[in-house]
Amino acid sequence: MSNASLETFDPDEPRGGDDPRGSLIAELIGPDPVRRREVLRTARQRRWLDPYGEVAVRAILVDGRSAALPPLRHALTVAGRGHTLVIADGDGVLLVTSSARTPLDIDEWARDTAARAGVRVIAPIGSARLRTDEDDLRRAADDARATSELLLLLGESAIGTTRAENLGMWRLLHGMTRSPSLVAAASPAAHELWRSPDQTRRATVEAYLDAGCSVAVACRALFIHRTTLYYRLESMSEVVRDALADGLQRSTLHLGLKLLQLWDATDGSDPARSAERQRGTATITRLAPRQASKTPIHSML
């Protein structure tokens, strides 16, 4: 995350005009960790941020990119919420404000303010928090931004949360370097299911793993009878059946499917990557041969 322009609203100082503190506060998310800590300490001491309570960080992605940012920054700056900093960041802004010193819900206030400014928020607002014992804002800012990016790519129904602390494995996957060949090597089963022309097979395995291998929960998610689930799992290829029968391979398969889902969503906004994916250019490196499972799938469920 790079340095960015910034406007601030301090309830103890006049609104509007250029803020001479802007270049200083921009260092809150700058590259120098020593300066980030110094500036955060200063912001708390001068009450630019709430010096006592927990600080909320929101990443707001907007439509219109750079043209929409100045009106949004201005609107959030003068909207009347104290102890608030607004930092332009890429395709949106970071809103850093008090968690508890106003009755206004942060997300509702931010969306209403954006709407009044004629700015469209294009994704659920990613949320993170800066704890009172933390001395660096960068971690919370990165987490909030990662949450918004994941929500934009996959939707709230897939992610299941707008709060960075609840992202779980999605936060880990978001930070991984793109390498389809590595996923293929680590989990040939995940690669096979993702490349299969019959995506019912992938959806079945993914729902089963999402359900913690609970037949009842998976059947409810898929709207099928348990006999149908047994049949689908029994008819999987040997490599998929072996992965489901082994604890470590099963976990790797689950994470591999989620990682490929994330990259596939990213490809949707990149025509070149999408074409590469459709050509199937990833190299498959099989794991060492292992003895095929002789146990029927339904007896392991």
Domain finish residue from 131, 147, 173:
173
Q: What's the rounded mean pLDDT across residues 197-210?
A: 95
What pTM does this model have? 0.75
At which residue do the structure tokens 């409810």 appear? 220
| Predicted local distance difference test score (pLDDT) of residue 299 | 53
Q: Which residues are CB-neighbours of 284 under 8 A, at least 6 positions away?
A: 181, 184, 185, 188, 191
Cβ atoms 123, 269 nearer than 8 A? no
Residues 134 and 216 in one domain: no
Q: How many distinct structural domains can be found in the chain?
A: 2
Residues 155 and 209 in one domain: no
| Predicted local distance difference test score (pLDDT) of residue 17 | 44
* CATH label of the domain that carries residue 27: 3.30.70
Is residue 280 over pLDDT 60?
no
Is residue 269 over pLDDT 60?
no
* CATH label of the domain that carries residue 184: 1.10.10
| Predicted local distance difference test score (pLDDT) of residue 19 | 53
Residues 155 and 192 in one domain: no
Residues 148 and 37 in one domain: yes
For residues 190 and 231, what is the distance between their CA atoms, to the nearest angstrom?
19
Residues 19 and 118 in one domain: yes
The confidence band for 238, taking pLDDT boundaries of 50, 70 and 90, is very high
Is residue 193 over pLDDT 90?
yes
pLDDT tens-digit series, residues 124-173: 999 999 988 899 999 999 999 999 999 999 999 999 999 999 999 999 99
Residues 236 and 278 in one domain: yes
Torsion of CA 130, 108, 142, 97, to 10 degrees: -40
Cβ atoms 97, 79 nearer than 8 A? no
Residues 141 and 100 in one domain: yes
Write out the residue range of the structural domain in which residue 81 sits.
6-173
Q: Confirm whether 1 is domain-assigned.
A: no
Q: What's the rounded mean pLDDT across residues 176-201?
A: 93
Residues 155 and 12 in one domain: yes
Q: Confirm whether 63 is domain-assigned.
A: yes
Residues 35 and 165 in one domain: yes
Domain finish residue from 151, 173, 195:
173
Residues 14 and 139 in one domain: yes
pLDDT tens-digit series, residues 20-61: 566 777 789 999 999 999 999 999 898 888 888 889 999 999
The confidence band for 99, taking pLDDT boundaries of 50, 70 and 90, is confident
Q: Confirm whether 62 is domain-assigned.
A: yes
CA distances to 94, 99, 125, 269 from 13, rounded to whole Å, are: 21, 21, 28, 43
Longest CA–CA span in the chain (Å) reads 75
Q: What's the rounded mean pLDDT across residues 174-201?
A: 93
Residues 34 and 161 in one domain: yes
pLDDT higher for 271 or 25? Answer: 25
